[in-house]
Amino acid sequence: MTRFAIKRLNNFTSCRRGSSAVEFAMLLPVFLTIVFGIVVFGSYLAVIHGVQQLAAEAARSSVAGMTETERSSLASTYVTNNAATYPLIDPTKLTTAAATSSSNANVFVVTVNYDASTMFIYTLPFVPKPATLIRRSASIPYGGF
């Protein structure tokens, strides 16, 4: 080999200018998949949190009622009027049940159900699917304390 060929071969093997681009091309899909997963599962968890907050606030608002029917009406009205303030929750997919606890006659329980079956997370392949029905409850003793 000539000296020029040896020098050229050494320059070629020691050059690292393109290695960053190759590493970036290999890691970008993995990174974007992780970020996308965080966003999708985070939106699902935000819906769960919103449903829990609706149930808790509906239970608190029901304290003002004198009878079980009035308390149930107050809880349902609260959920209906405030569901639209949660941007990821579709108010048409919410159902509310409110009644005295079967295990304790001094406790009023509000249960809010949300049908999450149309959320984006259920259309993704190869992703573990969480429950499609989100059910959250809140209880409050009669008298509010």
Instruction: Give residue 2's pLDDT.
Output: 74
Instruction: Give residue 19's pLDDT.
Output: 76
Q: Give the orientation angle of helix 19-61 with respect to helix 68-82, to 10 degrees.
A: 150
Instruction: Give residue 50's pLDDT.
Output: 97
Instruction: Give residue 12's pLDDT.
Output: 63
**Which residue range is the domain that position 39 belongs to?**
24-141
Instruction: Give residue 15's pLDDT.
Output: 63
Q: Please indicate, yes or no, if residue 8 is contained in any of the structural domains.
A: no
The b-or-e profile of 21-48 (16+ CB within 10 A means b, else e) is eeeeeeeeeeeeeeeeeeebeeebeebb
Instruction: Give residue 74's pLDDT.
Output: 95
Model confidence, pTM: 0.79
- Number of folded domains that form the chain: 1
List, in sequence order, every beta strand (DSSP E) within the chain.
94-100, 107-115, 133-141
Instruction: Give residue 14's pLDDT.
Output: 67
Instruction: Give residue 66's pLDDT.
Output: 85
Q: Please indicate, yes or no, if residue 104 is contained in any of the structural domains.
A: yes
pLDDT mean for each 10 residues of the chain (145 residues): 70 69 90 92 95 96 88 95 95 95 91 94 87 95 71
Q: Please indicate, yes or no, if residue 126 is contained in any of the structural domains.
A: yes
CA dist., res. 37 & res. 136, Å (int)? 24
Task: Say what the alpha-carbon torsion angle 20, 25, 27, 31 is, to the nearest 10 degrees.
Answer: 120
